[in-house]
Amino acid sequence: MRIGELAGRLGLNPRTIRYYESIDLLPAPARDDSGYRQYGQPDVERVAFIRSAQRLGLALDEIREVLALRYRGEAPCGYVRELLGRELADIDRRMQELQNLRGELAALERRAREAPAGGGICGLIEHVRQRSGPEGSSQRRAQPPAATKPLTGGSARSLRRGRPKAAAEAGIG
């Protein structure tokens, strides 16, 4: 099968398949007389394995190591258990950070009706900044998950990732 069919079977863009080849996750395929890449069932299974490993949180370098261990005839499951343990610990840490952030936001929301209408940009945010001490020295530094795509609107989420659209258009931020 050609690259488009392989990609289509797995719901991927053909560029993803080429990328996997370029970083040695997928061996270079045979080519037909016209120069088109030719893939077989082992390639389908390998790419499906790569995608499954990514869904579990493994990085491409880690997946490459798992594949290399198997290629050398070693059982990679001990290594995978270690990686999954680290991923679980990271998820637990991020969940705790998000719980802390949720608590702070809930408390701030409760106080929102009593917020001073001062001359600053927004009294709610300025109150949080004043509580955290010197400029930018907040105790909590919860970040959204890296996989979160930035939004183009002016939502709170986009403010965490960069300037909101309205601020960029106004030349501020």
Q: What is the pLDDT of residue 152?
A: 39
Q: What is the DSSP string of the chain?
A: --HHHHHHHHT--HHHHHHHHHTTSSPPPEE-TT--EE--HHHHHHHHHHHHHHHTT--HHHHHHHHHHHHTT---HHHHHHHHHHHHHHHHHHHHHHHHHHHHHHHHHHHGGG----SSS-HHHHHHHHHT-STT--S------TTPPPPSSS-HHHHHHS--HHHHHHT--
Q: For 84-101, what is the mean pLDDT?
A: 96
Q: What pLDDT band is residue 112 in, cutting at 50, 70 and 90? A: confident
Contact 17, 29 (CB under 8 A): no
- Looking at residue 142, its pLDDT comes to 44
Contacts 24+ apart (CB under 8 A), 144-149: 145/94
Which pLDDT value is given to residue 109?
A: 84
Residue 22 pLDDT > 90, yes or no? yes
* pLDDT tens-place string over residues 29-86: 999 999 999 999 999 999 999 999 999 999 999 999 999 999 999 999 999 999 999 9
Q: Is the pLDDT of residue 10 over 80?
A: yes
- Note the pLDDT of residue 136: 47
pTM of the shown model: 0.61
pLDDT tens column, 115-169: 666 667 777 777 666 666 555 444 444 444 444 433 334 434 333 344 344 444 4
